[in-house]
A and B are shown apart, each in its own frame.
Chain A
């Protein structure tokens, strides 16, 4: 088996992974970095993010404001020391990427421009037209090309983390184009593999968001924290789930139901005038907006389409000039994929799964419970986003925690020896054996596509925007069955060369594990908080549940759910107030 040693292994080459690799290469050019990704870096899903990245920059704004907005937005489940660190580092990181060439949109003075965003008291969202993720990703990728110490392995699918005696010693990966399995040895490992939106049927997420990083850390003994908190973005296109950025609402877009009524005012987000006002109506937090849609649907006030119920996002009043300048991609997407030109007609939208607040349990420095293993980006849960993330905090999160992970992994690597190659290879061979079993199986009755469809369906039905004990128990039970059926999965493609049937089967395995963690965590949390809403427990219950859930892997058995404390410093849990009374 081929072996590749390095000082640090970074798995995932999206915004967080690239930022981590650059951080190491800049500070310590003598450290060898192996950067692995199952796709070419430009394809990472960071590329699809649109709206912007938050960081305090205006004179009338303060770190305190960003802190309070984030903590309240997270329904007080955020670790406040982490949020403090996050908001403080944010402006520096955003300035750093500007120095690397990121084409931020500007004010006439030449300074970076900012726009209002959901749940934020003062505008602090830096943006690059409405393709911020695209520009950030390409800036980071292109910057990474400067550093010879970063060695990339593009289209390598990592199957397992290799752990020996409580320390992560590397990873096993398949070179997708040849089917060859390889062992990557490293003194420290960073996971930056993204979220798992593909667990649900309607999502803004691309094909690659299958939670592989979360699943492999989970299997390696790291708990998955707060998995029940899945964010539905209020405005995705029906059918495809394509994201229509919150920026459209930041620029003044409104949401109306079938009667042309701005329904959000019925859900403690109003009054609708004077418009626009921060933290009110369409600039409320995402969980509230998605929940409002659900209620409108129950009241039969949504618009029926071939792809289910929708509401309308109306930006006509912004005018063609402003739309082409600030929201050109929104116009292009709506026109291309929906046949609707938003200059002349409202865009049909509905809530779709978008982001995972939960993920790999890390501390404030991105370290996990396994020595030498770090995690950052969407796959990690520090937690700064708590029970609900504010829009534009995530792109900043990639930079802030990507940089931390790089720095800390480098420190760990320089103080620890390279693991023994023979040891790592033997661990990799065990991983290889597992995959060989799947690859060589004959006579299996199950197909990847069918199991995947069943999984997404049960997740949406039982663990969607609103949940009940019955719906969750049913989903938990069904997922156990699906995991069992997974052991009888039959591959159709038996080639070694670029076998996407195999890759999709392995991704399905990751998704089933992640889905179980979500459903069981949700079942155990008997309260409603942020994006986790229980019809049978409609209130927030701080006395019992002001804590993080921890899903612990139990092999074929369902996960154990444990809890750990939330770090509360300056902001005592209060009521989340938006609309008229918003602080």
Chain B
């Protein structure tokens, strides 16, 4: 038979070719940074349990230039992750409320939780562990 269907191979760089897929890969990459940040927090807890010296070295780490840059990067990616996630929730969960209200509600809850966490953190800083 003369048929010979031609199969096109997908290139490794498939995600670079269009803006839409590049954006998608960046979005997925955020999970890496969120994972790393979670590891950092876990490290902090471990160091805290180990005593004041270990804790001081942890503080030194996160206040160092590299440490700050890393955390800012994580914050940026977490922000990106959250914004893109909020934007698509109306699709994934079709509530009877209009999309804007659903997205708005997410931001509102996020703001409230952020405020609560910051207040609690402030409390601990005041009665800080020496």
Contact = CB atoms under 8 A, between A and B. Distances in A.
A326 B1 CA distance: 50
A407 B15 CA distance: 54
B7 to A, nearest CB: 15
Nearest to B5: A177
Interface string A487-522: 000000001110000000000000000000000000
Please classify the interface of chain A as helix (H, G, I), strand (E, B), loop, or mixed, using the class held by over half of its residues. loop
Interface residues of B, number: 3
A177 to B, nearest CB: 6
B9 interface: no
Chain A contact residues (Cβ within 8 angstroms of B): what range?
under 10
B3 interface: yes
B111 to A, nearest CB: 36
B5 to A, nearest CB: 9
A179 interface: yes
Contacts of A179: 2
A178 B3 CA distance: 6
A570 interface: no
A250 to B, nearest CB: 32
A180 interface: yes
A97 B2 CA distance: 42
A502 to B, nearest CB: 14
Contacts of B2: 178-179, 495-497
Interface string B1-13: 1110000000000
A180 B1 CA distance: 8
Contacts of B1: 178, 180
B70 to A, nearest CB: 51
B68 to A, nearest CB: 53
Nearest to B2: A496
Contacts of A180: 1
A191 to B, nearest CB: 28
Interface string B48-83: 000000000000000000000000000000000000
Interface in B1-40: 1-3
A180 B3 CA distance: 10
Contacts of A497: 2-3
Nearest to B3: A178
A495 B2 CA distance: 9
- Top 8 nearest A-B pairs (CB, nearest first) are A496-B2, A178-B3, A178-B1, A497-B2, A497-B3, A177-B3, A178-B2, A179-B2
10 contacts: A177-B3, A178-B1, A178-B2, A178-B3, A179-B2, A180-B1, A495-B2, A496-B2, A497-B2, A497-B3
Given A177-B3, A497-B2, 8 more contacts: A178-B1, A178-B2, A178-B3, A179-B2, A180-B1, A495-B2, A496-B2, A497-B3
